[in-house]
Structure 1
Amino acid sequence: MATKTDVIVVGGGYAGVMAANRLTRRDDVTVTLVNPRPSFVERLRLHQLVGGSHDALVDYRDILGRDVRLLVDTVTRIDAAGRGVTLASGGTLGYDYLIYAVGSGSADPQVPGAAEFAYPIASLEDAQRLRPVVDAAPATATLTVVGAGPTGIETAAELAEGGRTVTLVCGGVLGPYLHPRGRRAVARRLAELGVTVVEGPGATVTAVTRDSVRLGDGRGLVSDVTIWTAGFGVPDLASRSGLSTDALGRLITDETLTSVDDVRVVAAGDSAAPSGLPYRMGCQSAVQLGPQAAETVLSRIAGEQPAPVDVGFVGQCISLGRQAGIVQLARRNDTATGLHLAGRSAGKIKELVVRQTVRQLASEARTPGARNLWFKDGQRQHLLRATRDENLATAER
């Protein structure tokens, strides 16, 4: 009787689901997906959950391959030497290979009062806690969103479109990823929605109280509800398990997404740092890294050399309420260009992208490995060589 290869995927986000589904290409592989929640969370819709227009949940039965076993639990420790994991429920689980796809969440805010008085929005539980707070706030309440990346912009726009008084504190510039042309388009839309945008050198938050936000230039802003979207962190599972991580806590891997500590541990998504040069956090990279992590495992099972990671970007889509959005185009190396699409058509494209991402997960479940098209970044190898040369020169000095 043929021996089965047991693979555990830790984390059921975009990367984890894609990896688990891709692994089912081989009949002699058993796949267990360990995730703390029984439903898939559409992180791209968490701002909608807060605004009341979506629950941001998808049934795993709709997106997981039928041969993937879903275990609703949390991995508390990885024993790489013993090839096993400890579960929060008290049990243990052995593996032949492990894919580390724990994703990302809110970074621990270092600003005084932020942890106590501000509400994060990076996880399902965060958004679910915030929703009733927003609903209970008086119609005249001022809601302050801290952080002007995609999550902050989308949250501010969603709430403002719902009739709320919203201040968006940028901590610098509005939409730092965006090209200046795209940034101006976002600013115009936010102005139409009545959002007060606070940006510039003095717009860094220095303290949060129950009813205010203090800025670096000494200003104090009234804030009945403060929503914190500034910065992302990753779970510390890898570091707690004795595996090598970068400064943010992402698992350090080589270019095949294999841990530098253990050939049986492979990483994908926001929690991976290939060659110490991680990709931008988000589903655009996650849906590419997940299948490639699985292919690394499948190659090793077949006795073949895994291929190096190959990821490309097309831009960034941001919804600006339910009626508008912006599609910022980018080069494959994730550098924004001067081209963008804004308005109602861009809003429809963003909604289509969100829906299509879920369909992509389901497609991988039905026919794993059938779709591999993506615009790849041909500049990464040049960047890696330049970084290695710089590190070598530094070491020689």
Structure 2
Amino acid sequence: MTPNHSTVLVIGGGYAGVMAANRLKTRNDLTVKLINPRPEFVERIRLHQLAVADESTSRVALADYGTVLNAGVQLVVDSVERIDAAAHRVTLASGATLDYDYLVYAVGSTGAVPDAVPGAAEFAYPLSEFEQATRLRERLADLAAPAPIVVVGAGLTGIEAASEFAGAGRHVTLVSRVIGPSLSRAGRRSVLRQLAKVGVTLVDGDAATVTAVGPDHVVLADGRRLLSAVTVWTAGFGVPGLAAASGLTTDDMGRLVTDETFTSVDDDRIAAAGDSASPSRVPYRMSCQASLPMGALAADTVLARMAGETAAAVSVPMSAQCISIGRRGGTLQFQRRDDSPTGIHIGGRAGALIKEQVCRFTLKWLSGEAAEPGSYKSLKGPDRSALAATPSAVPVR
């Protein structure tokens, strides 16, 4: 590394990481390396479709990095085991080390199956990573169609998974205290109608808490046992422990704590974006909707610091929640900029068409930024200046 040529490492090749890496190539004098454990880009918003795919469609959630990543970005297929912030160096799982001038932390999120629920870690199938979805697909391929499936958790992932399985002819029960807790009443009614239409059985209410998972059943808080040949766990997400293991400040979940410029509160050479970032300890909803602009804005912060400029405090607007319900239904729930739901939604076939277009546009936006770094534009989000309890004291070097 020389004063005239800097290296930026981006850890994580998902929506935030790819967007950040592409954005950084607005400067041709930078070496940008994207570190990711997989050689292909994973469309996480299609993993529920991958779980029911056959061999002919098994690549439904994969895209070649050549289609979404700027040609000048070096892809390093490996995992980071530790960040040495003082030395500006990362250690990879392969044993190699990489030095950096700046780093973007975008490791994303993972499926979380709670150890506190007996049998869950052993018998339940999470559905938030490519390997998890592939493992579930292989299990479903060995399962007779009439065999019962229980999906635990009715957030957006649970709703999409349950309806996708039901649309493939499976017998599905969706278990959660509340169906679609982030939706408005009208949006929830839209989802409930469509879940009933595709044949999903609902178990909700105060007693709809899973207290144990067995190889062929789940147990609810009121003692009921539901038969389940496959239990899919979507009730909650976690994040990789890399930041905490590296001695960086994290929130209670393990997300890297930053200020409102997406800069680590420990080190101004580290920025963070996506599901693994916690600006002012008030993180955005885990979604590609937040991750794409966060990736661009975190890269802008790095570029500003490299240029000797003041990084801007920025925020991300949240506009909607898009839910597919099988292949022919969906609900678009409109949100205020602070991510609270409005009473407006679009449901049914129109909702499904919009959701599919949103899925396609995520790749289009990444590809557009790859082809022309700096071209991606995001609307201004709400003022978050009052969220930080205390000003961050980040050393400037």
Report if aligned partners of 2:112, 2:126 keep a CA contact under 8 Å in 1: no
2:49 maps to a residue whose letter is Q
Question: 1:107: how far off?
Answer: 1.7
User: 1:380 is paired with a residue of what secondary structure?
Assistant: coil
Report if aligned partners of 2:113, 2:233 keep a CA contact under 8 Å in 1: no
The match for 1:19 is 20
TM-score, length-scaled by structure 1: 0.95
User: 1:190 is paired with a residue of what secondary structure?
Assistant: helix
Instruction: From 279, 282, 288, give the equivalent of 1:277.
Output: 282
The match for 1:126 is 132
Question: 1:378: how far off?
Answer: 2.4
CA distance in 1, matches of 2:70, 2:262: 23
Question: 1:38: how far off?
Answer: 0.2
Alignment of 1:259-270 (within 5 A): 259-270=264-275
Report if aligned partners of 1:328, 1:336 keep a CA contact under 8 Å in 2: yes
The match for 1:112 is 118
Question: 1:328: how far off?
Answer: 0.3
Query: Is 2:174 the counterpart of 1:168?
Result: yes
Alignment of 1:192-207 (within 5 A): 192-207=197-212
User: 1:363 is paired with a residue of what secondary structure?
Assistant: helix
The match for 2:6 is 5
The match for 1:392 is none
Report if aligned partners of 1:9, 1:20 keep a CA contact under 8 Å in 2: yes
Change (3 A) 1:373 1:262: closer
The match for 1:334 is 339
Question: 1:2: how far off?
Answer: 7.3
Which runs of 5 or more structure 2 residues have no equivalent in the other structure? 392-397
User: 1:368 is paired with a residue of what secondary structure?
Assistant: coil
2:145 maps to a residue whose letter is A
CA distance in 1, matches of 2:312, 2:30: 20
The match for 1:393 is none
CA distance in 1, matches of 2:108, 2:136: 21
Question: 1:258: how far off?
Answer: 0.8
CA distance in 2, matches of 1:96, 1:116: 42
Report if aligned partners of 2:167, 2:326 keep a CA contact under 8 Å in 1: yes
CA distance in 1, matches of 2:237, 2:3: 44
Which runs of 5 or more structure 1 residues have no equivalent in the other structure? 390-397
Query: Is 2:52 the counterpart of 1:51?
Result: yes
CA distance in 1, matches of 2:76, 2:155: 33
Question: 1:14: how far off?
Answer: 0.1
User: 2:81 is paired with a residue of what secondary structure?
Assistant: strand
Report if aligned partners of 1:40, 1:58 keep a CA contact under 8 Å in 2: yes
Alignment of 1:62-141 (within 5 A): 62-109=67-114, 110-141=116-147
Alignment of 1:280-295 (within 5 A): 280-295=285-300
Query: Is 2:258 the counterpart of 1:257?
Result: no
CA distance in 2, matches of 1:7, 1:388: 29
Instruction: From 374, 382, 385, give the equivalent of 1:378.
Output: 382
CA distance in 2, matches of 1:356, 1:377: 20
The match for 2:366 is 361
Displaced runs of 4 or more, over 2 A: 376-382
Question: 1:342: how far off?
Answer: 0.3
Identity of aligned residues (%): 57
User: 1:103 is paired with a residue of what secondary structure?
Assistant: coil
TM-score, length-scaled by structure 2: 0.95
CA distance in 2, matches of 1:371, 1:41: 20
How many residues are aligned here?
385
